[in-house]
Structure 1
Amino acid sequence: MATTSQNRKSIFWICVLALFCAALANAVRAGAAGAMKTALLDPIDPQHSGELIGVVLGNSFLGFAISLLVISPLLDKLGAKKVILFASACFILGPLLVLLAGNAPPASIMLVLNLAMVLWGCGWGATEASINPVVATLFPDEKTGKLNELHAWWPAGLILGGLLSVLFFKSLDLPWQALVGLCLIPGVALAIWAARHQFPQTESAVAGVSFGEMMTEPFKRPSFWVFFAIMFLTASSELAPGAWVDVTLTNTVGMPGILVLVYVSAIMFVMRHFAGALEHRFSDMGLLLMCTVPAAVGLYLLSVANSPVTAVLAATVWAFGVCFMWPTMLAAVSRRYPRSGPWGIGLVGFAGALAIYFVLPELGAIYDRAKLEKAGGEEAFAALQPGSDALQQVLAYAAEKSFQTIAIIPVVLFFIFLAVRLVERKSGKA
């Protein structure tokens, strides 16, 4: 089906709204994580509630990973429109189920929360499975630039969600349920808007690539799996810390941790509009290689931040490191393996989602072990008074250990990106 200029513009902005919904949901989950932990999980298991909230947050990434993996190869058969409508349904039903968790029996709270997060995450996965191949198809000669422009609205959603978190909790003193319920509005708007438009076939379908050829393409080209592994690490450098800042930094830097995420997102929103020009200047691998240094330094600085000023400084460095990673990786795979179609893009996104599913609970476990170690054991930690200097020191130590652990990942990425760039230059593919 031919795509008119006007319809192409509408489809692009529908894709923007879908990603905005997913980002808003992520920010709301991060912003409400501390309140949900206090209200729902601390009464169940206060000594391991950090790990529990990590598991809950991580399950949204599990839903993301599963839906992305299942939907990506079927996108051309299902049609992008149906997938976007499915995503909008998840953006409505997910938060509704989270709201029901507050009324569940204590023994069922984790079950309800986990189911809600998986469903909510499925909306995000369906979004990524559809919008990335669609935009790559609409703009075949501008993939890196347009995918970065599209994903600039990811931090825009994080900004709004983060600011609403602060407004609801700090200024208006509203319950966390009000913030979660607000996510229903853009989900409904997405369903109404998407239902009125027709979506194009993907690039691989237009090129006549069969379903079997698309499915086997990544397996016929072993180098594809290098990018799969890289995405596992890049997502761990960007998305895991983003979901973790409110739980950790709020207690250590003298400001709501979600504001750090808002500030980082503002930088990312601006910088992603320059990705196309930077990619033409340095290549996608060169751009990704440059990102790893500030990402590692920024994560380390976040680990030792102890005031609003040091937190903002650390966040600035980290933001410049991670702002291009996710969309540039998607564009890099689409450019190198076009016949893998939405399946190839989906597999790489799946790697990123799977990484967070494993990384977030591990961050929570590291945080819990560190706080008990600093306090001198479970009984000593339980005896600490809320708001006391001793408790603040324990929580600061735990935050430091969790961020320093994940700061190792961009260092590893530096050497991987360098190796890929050198190999491609030698083979004349760079």
Structure 2
Amino acid sequence: MQNIQTNKLFWASCLALLVTSLSFGIRAGMMNQLGIDFQLNATQLGSITATAFWGFPLAMVIGGVIVDVIGMKRLLVIAFLFHLAGIALTIFAQGYWTLFFSTLLIGIANGTVEAACNPLVATLYPKDKTTRLNYFHLWFPGGIVIGTLVVTLFVNLHLGWQLQVATMLIPTLIYGFLFSRLDFPPTERVSSGYSSGDMYMAVLSPLFIFMLICMFMTAITELFTGQWIGLLLKNVTNNALLLLTLTTGIMVVGRAFAKPIVKKLAPQGVLLFSAIFAAIGLYMLSTFTGSSVFFAALIFGIGVCYFWPTMIGFVAENIPQSGALGLNLMGGAGMFAVSIYTMFMGGFYDGLIVKHLPAGAHLGTYTAAADGTPEAAALNEAKNLAGPEVLQVTLVLPIILIVAFTGLVVYMRSRKSRQLAAEAI
């Protein structure tokens, strides 16, 4: 009976995460159309995208603090209500500010889902945390794949982005119904007897702070690239959205087969492997052209595949005293970093476009130009040059991570050797 309850809670969690990922996939697919419909430039689109990443860490950090007090079930009720409100406001958006606030609400809902479900999965599977977190998080890229396919289908059927967003209501209503009927266990920290003092000391430890800083870079490498790939790589393919679908499809498959890889390499080894492939893949994406870009997307997808769940799994396994707060600080830090980076890169991208336009050109004039005009052609060429330059700047992050995770592998081997020596005594 307990296994049945555990499995129901796990699958309901996966469905809630599916709604979170659909919001990313659908928004990534409709960014260009939002810019056209509401006459928004890349800076404004970047601000709207970043808003989801603001709400996410806010909800995760607050949720991490209060989840042990109010319980995981109440947090998920809050997520359900915010998802409903954010989706409805997006459907009836009238311009920049309604898109801004609706995206903020969805971001808060998304963060609340992870604030409850990450510690829930760790609690349900205490002996298999990293693997199960990979299984859980495969629904994030899985939802992005579904979302981008929904966008492609609806565009081909000449259906508006409002209907694309409305499809998110279906899984939202289902996960709200499922969670309302299930009983939840206490969090692992509470059941293990770690105090609140232990939790706060753990999140101030050097190892946790190191992982938090690395989370900034792993999250940006994965999520910023995924969200902006359609805007940045128009120069290499007319099917830039398919690149996102391919990348996330690889992530689904990789996370589904995480168990033997995690067992063989350990979480820290998986992270080093991921950083190497992410750096190679991002370099390829920024330099390859034509059909070879799809191979680059394959390599990049392998690279970022294990980043998010394995970062959280490492903390759950090696710093268990940090509890739900530790897991949620990790996720919140990642999303916060992406929000700042996305806002910065929106302006940086606009600046690169202006740099590649004729001297003295004003971006607004070229953005408003009709298709087929010399201004429109010049703008398109400027975007073709600017996009890969943004990716080349981002490439610095996985290169830093290769060094950082090499150090982590060495440290964890040394720590394990010391533990074995102490046990032998």
Scaled to the shorter chain, the TM-score interval is over 0.9
Task: Tell me if the contact between 1:73 and 1:215 (Cα under 8 Å) persists in the aligned partners.
Answer: no
The 5 Å alignment of 1:183-332 reads 183-219=168-204, 221-249=205-233, 251-307=234-290, 309-332=291-314
Partners of 1:413 and 1:113 lie apart in 2 by 34
Using the TM superposition, name which of 12-21 and 418-427 deviates more: 418-427
Counterpart of 1:344 in structure 2 is: 326
Q: How far is the alpha carbon of 1:415 from its aligned partner?
A: 0.2
- 1:404 matches 2:360: no
Q: How far is the alpha carbon of 1:314 from its aligned partner?
A: 1.4
Counterpart of 1:23 in structure 2 is: 21
User: For residues 281-303 of structure 1, what are the alpha-carbon distances to aligned partners after superposition, in whole Å with 9 as ceiling and x for unaligned?
Assistant: 11111111011122112112222
Among residues 327, 335, 341, which one is paired with 1:359 in the alignment?
A: 341
Aligned partner of 1:26: which letter? F
Partners of 1:255 and 1:216 lie apart in 2 by 51
Partners of 1:190 and 1:215 lie apart in 2 by 32
Partners of 2:415 and 2:75 lie apart in 1 by 39
Identity of aligned residues (%): 30
Partners of 2:32 and 2:109 lie apart in 1 by 23
Task: Tell me if the contact between 1:166 and 1:256 (Cα under 8 Å) persists in the aligned partners.
Answer: no
Q: 1:322 to 1:352 in 2, by over 3 A?
A: same
Q: How far is the alpha carbon of 1:62 from its aligned partner?
A: 0.3
Partners of 1:150 and 1:428 lie apart in 2 by 28
- 1:55 matches 2:47: yes
Partners of 2:310 and 2:348 lie apart in 1 by 30
Task: Tell me if the contact between 1:217 and 1:340 (Cα under 8 Å) persists in the aligned partners.
Answer: yes
Partners of 2:370 and 2:279 lie apart in 1 by 34
Counterpart of 1:46 in structure 2 is: none
Q: How far is the alpha carbon of 1:210 from its aligned partner?
A: 2.6
- 1:121 matches 2:90: no
Aligned partner of 1:353: which letter? M
Partners of 2:362 and 2:50 lie apart in 1 by 29
Q: How far is the alpha carbon of 1:305 from its aligned partner?
A: 4.0
Partners of 2:267 and 2:14 lie apart in 1 by 22
User: For residues 167-212 of structure 1, what are the alpha-carbon distances to aligned partners after superposition, in whole Å with 9 as ceiling and x for unaligned?
Assistant: 111x111111111122122111111111011111111110122334
Partners of 1:410 and 1:216 lie apart in 2 by 29
Q: Which runs of 5+ in 1 are unaligned?
A: 43-48, 103-108
Task: Tell me if the contact between 1:65 and 1:350 (Cα under 8 Å) persists in the aligned partners.
Answer: yes
Counterpart of 1:176 in structure 2 is: 161
The 5 Å alignment of 1:71-86 reads 71-86=63-78
User: For residues 34-68 of structure 1, what are the alpha-carbon distances to aligned partners after superposition, in whole Å with 9 as ceiling and x for unaligned?
Assistant: 111111133xxxxxx10110110010010001000
Among residues 34, 37, 41, which one is paired with 1:36 in the alignment?
A: 34
Using the size of structure 2 for normalisation, the TM-score is 0.93
- 1:148 matches 2:145: no
Partners of 2:67 and 2:378 lie apart in 1 by 54
Task: Tell me if the contact between 1:239 and 1:356 (Cα under 8 Å) persists in the aligned partners.
Answer: yes
Among residues 79, 86, 111, which one is paired with 1:87 in the alignment?
A: 79
Task: Tell me if the contact between 1:165 and 1:258 (Cα under 8 Å) persists in the aligned partners.
Answer: no
User: For residues 310-333 of structure 1, what are the alpha-carbon distances to aligned partners after superposition, in whole Å with 9 as ceiling and x for unaligned?
Assistant: 221111110010000000000000
Partners of 2:175 and 2:185 lie apart in 1 by 18
Task: Tell me if the contact between 1:245 and 1:258 (Cα under 8 Å) persists in the aligned partners.
Answer: yes
- 1:424 matches 2:412: yes
Counterpart of 1:393 in structure 2 is: 381
Counterpart of 2:98 in structure 1 is: 112
Partners of 2:399 and 2:244 lie apart in 1 by 22
Task: Tell me if the contact between 2:91 and 2:163 (Cα under 8 Å) persists in the aligned partners.
Answer: no
Partners of 2:42 and 2:335 lie apart in 1 by 20
Q: How far is the alpha carbon of 1:385 from its aligned partner?
A: 5.6
Partners of 1:179 and 1:427 lie apart in 2 by 50
Aligned partner of 2:146: which letter? L
Aligned partner of 1:352: which letter? G
Secondary structure of residue in 1 paired with 2:237? coil
Using the TM superposition, name which of 382-391 and 85-94 deviates more: 382-391
Secondary structure of residue in 2 paired with 1:329? helix
Secondary structure of residue in 2 paired with 1:379? coil
Q: CA RMSD in A?
A: 1.7
Counterpart of 1:159 in structure 2 is: 145
User: For residues 115-140 of structure 1, what are the alpha-carbon distances to aligned partners after superposition, in whole Å with 9 as ceiling and x for unaligned?
Assistant: 11111001110111111111111111
Q: How far is the alpha carbon of 1:380 from its aligned partner?
A: 6.0
Task: Tell me if the contact between 2:215 and 2:311 (Cα under 8 Å) persists in the aligned partners.
Answer: yes
Secondary structure of residue in 1 paired with 2:127? coil
Partners of 1:160 and 1:378 lie apart in 2 by 43
Task: Tell me if the contact between 1:55 and 1:361 (Cα under 8 Å) persists in the aligned partners.
Answer: yes
Using the size of structure 1 for normalisation, the TM-score is 0.92
Partners of 2:360 and 2:187 lie apart in 1 by 55
Task: Tell me if the contact between 1:366 and 1:401 (Cα under 8 Å) persists in the aligned partners.
Answer: no
Counterpart of 2:423 in structure 1 is: none
Aligned partner of 2:13: which letter? C
Q: How far is the alpha carbon of 1:377 from its aligned partner?
A: 4.4
Partners of 1:21 and 1:380 lie apart in 2 by 39
